Amino acid sequence: MAYVIAEPCIDVHDRACVDECPVDCIYDGVRKGYIQADECVDCGACEPVCPVVAIFHEEEVPAQWAHYIAIDREFFGPEVSGLGAPGGAQNVGSAGIDHPLLAAVAVP
């Protein structure tokens, strides 16, 4: 289990969740952040500091954003970023890419 960053985060770039995460498992894409599920320790520290209510435990992601569970997991795989589980976002910096499905998301 892990936390997931859903659609309300797209194009927001608030870093409060990153600053709060004790294990540095929130990686920066171009349009949103991504939580590396294998590195997340389920502490929940990121959730209450999110200013747009975009972070949910994967068992509590609202139905309209359930596909973000797969988006966050796939982001780290070889088909998208190839990052795997690098052991900390700070050492990686911005990934410089997003999951391909984000290209179709228009945020008002």
Condensed to tens digits (0 to 9), the pLDDT of residues 8-59 reads 999 998 999 999 999 999 999 999 999 999 999 999 999 999 999 999 999 9
pLDDT of residue 108: 65
CA-to-CA dists, residue 55 to 71, 76, 82, 91, 98, angstroms: 13, 18, 23, 22, 17
Cβ proximity of 34 and 25 under 8 Å: no
Look up the CATH architecture of domain 3-90: 2-Layer Sandwich (3.30)
Furthest CA-CA distance within the chain: 34
d(CA 23, CA 60): 21
Q: Report domain extents, the chain.
A: 3-90
Cβ proximity of 80 and 102 under 8 Å: no
d(CA 103, CA 53): 21
